[in-house]
Amino acid sequence: MNMGEHDVIVLLLALATLLATGRALGELARRFHQPAVLGEIVAGLLLGPTVLGRLAPEISAWLFDDGPSAVVRAGFGQVAVCLFMFAAGLEVDLSTVLRRGRAALSVSISGIAVPFAFGLGAAWLWPTVLGGAPGVAPLHFALFFATALSISALPVIAKTLMDIGLFRSDLGMIVISAAIVEDLAGWIIFAIILGLIGGTGTAHGVPLTVALVLGFALTMLTVGRWTLNRVMPALHAYLSWPSGVLGVVFTLALLGAAASAWIGVHALFGAFMVGIAVGDSRHLRGRTRATIEQFIAAFFAPIFFASIGLGVDFVRHFDPLLVAVVLVIACAGKVLGCGLGARLGGTAWRESWAIGVAMNSRGAMEIILGLLALQAGIIEERMFVALVVMALVTSLLSGPIIQRILRRPRPRRVADLLSPRAFLGRLSAGDAAGAIGELATRAAEAARLPDAAVIAAVAAREAAMATGIEGGVAVPHARLAGLGTPIVVVGLAPDGIDFGAPDGQPARVVVLLLTGEDDDSAQLELLADVAHVFAPVDSAAHAARCAGYTEFLAALRTGSAKP
């Protein structure tokens, strides 16, 4: 069987459709501060039998069910999921776990044990509701279901914590460390279950498969990790950069994947373990890591996750009772398990519940686990649909609930508050007082306050202390009574205006900030954001040359205006 011209066209169009729809809905999810994988999965629902297959079955069949191109797409998906798990492994930082020791261990052990027990119990109690695929031993199904409830999604959890500014906090580090341990344990347990179930048919037999899985994992976490860390400087020193080191780590990822497929567990397990071993090296350059993660997140991940929905009709296999039961058991087991674990580890009650909720995100990991179980014949479509829904719902709820528990709103950012109206472009004034006048007038209009009052408040603050900061930026500001949402107005001064900055540079970008008198944190958050955005050398000078609002916003969002 070979690819004809027609097959090439179908393959390219299918990949383009999956990528475009996946990225577009992923972007929409991010807009609502949700992980991109949520949108990517939904894209698959739209393109697969659930929606497009119902509305326009001939288009769906032409794009996705055609002979050789479908085989290639499936193979491409195999490579894509291995690379995705490799990138997920890169994010696992084992030294964080070691530093957090007791608290992390307590959360993760209890966070695995409680949902695992819930899962085993439920599978035994309600075999008719939950039940595995016909022909699968009840014990095997129960073990799978218990594992599926125990796993959590490190990338989603990390993203949620970053979004609400908790990633580098004590609480954040406990959550991340516990999630690492759970991920690791969960995948090893699942690999063993796959070995158990396939065991009768595989070349190795059950005990050998289990031994090989544990041996492979342990080797990668010890010898593999140590060796890679030792070799990494030599890779940078003696190979061309970055293609030398990239070539080596991708080769290792593919070999690890092949090894775990040979053992009899899925290829992605090996790629994940190699990712952990590589990512833990302190010699791996940040730039190399970013190239890998960004390319995989933008190309392979959307194509893979959107493909998942192509195989299953989510409406036909939607079993409301099953979905409800899975969702309740999953949330109860995880939140209770991790919450109690955190409390036992010495965390206060409120933070313990926040940890429990944070760990409840299932995200991409749950869905991949479910897909493998579906392909291995352990579960039927209705359970797969229930697991996907559970993964999506737990990921959706995690962020908002933590914010509510900790009463911690998302930090405000200048880029989110700016609008075309609030962007003045080039200022006509040549001195600080004039610039403040122009900016404050526009700000007063937006705040529906009298011009004179706003100008006076900002000028008074400026007189008390000059607001020029390092790098050619000034941030005149004031706190005003009765103001709700903070107001940001930006003006550019390519020739520079003296705002008395400590480094003596004139300001080329002037950001006026008005915040409410009773909003203690807004001003600090926005000042920190401005300083962060314009930290790269020359970024203010570049931003000052932007031709309009969109270009300036692009400069803010990409962290530097240098094209």
Q: Which stretch binds a second copy (CB under 8 A): 184-192, 242-250, 334-342, 453-461?
A: 242-250
**Bridge partner list, 456:** none
Q: Does the N-terminal peptide bond of residue 411 adopt cis geometry, omega within 30 degrees of 0?
A: no
**Bridge partner list, 477:** 513
Query: Judged by CB under 8 A, how many residues of this single chain contact a second copy?
Result: 86
Residue type for position 254: L
Q: Residues 139, 218, 298, 315: which binds a second copy (CB under 8 A)?
A: 298
Q: Residues 121, 242, 311, 411: which binds a second copy (CB under 8 A)?
A: 242
Interaction residues for a second copy, span 251-290 (CB under 8 A): 251, 254-255, 257-258, 261-262, 264, 267, 282-287, 290
CB-wise, 278 or 386, nearer to a second copy? 278
Cβ-in-10-Å burial (0-12, 13-18, 19+) of 302 comes to buried
Q: Is 459 in the site for a second copy (CB under 8 A)?
A: no
Q: Is 20 in the site for a second copy (CB under 8 A)?
A: yes
Question: SS3 helix, strand, coil % of the chain, rounded to 5?
Answer: 70, 5, 25
CB-wise, 108 or 260, nearer to a second copy? 260
Interaction residues for a second copy, span 194-233 (CB under 8 A): 232-233
DSSP for 482-520, written as a single string = T--S-EEEEEEEEEEE----TT-PPEEEEEEEEEETT-H
Measure the CA–CA gap between 93 and 544, rounded to whole angstroms. 39
Interaction residues for a second copy, span 521-560 (CB under 8 A): 537, 548, 550-551, 553-559
Q: Which stretch binds a second copy (CB under 8 A): 13-21, 102-110, 311-319, 380-388?
A: 13-21
CB atoms within 10 A of CB 196: 18
Q: 265 with 213: CB under 8 angstroms?
A: yes
**Which x/- pattern, by CB under 8 A, does the window 34-53 give for a second copy?**
--x-----------------
Q: Which stretch binds a second copy (CB under 8 A): 72-80, 145-153, 326-334, 338-346?
A: 72-80
CB-wise, 73 or 334, nearer to a second copy? 73
Q: Is 234 in the site for a second copy (CB under 8 A)?
A: yes
Q: Residues 240, 419, 428, 521: which binds a second copy (CB under 8 A)?
A: 240
Measure the CA–CA gap between 196 and 216, rounded to whole angstroms. 16
Residue for token pair 């995948």: 187
Interaction residues for a second copy, span 133-192 (CB under 8 A): none
Q: Residues 113, 129, 248, 324: which binds a second copy (CB under 8 A)?
A: 248
CB burial readout 153-186, b (16+ within 10 A) else e: bbbbbbbbbebbebbeeebbbbbbbbbbbbbbbb
Q: Residues 37, 48, 53, 76: which binds a second copy (CB under 8 A)?
A: 76
Q: Residues 35, 302, 309, 341: which binds a second copy (CB under 8 A)?
A: 302
Cα–Cα separations (whole angstroms), residue 219 to 260, 280, 283: 13, 14, 20
Minimal distance, residue 70 CB to a second copy, in Å? 9
CB-wise, 22 or 49, nearer to a second copy? 22
Q: Is 420 in the site for a second copy (CB under 8 A)?
A: no
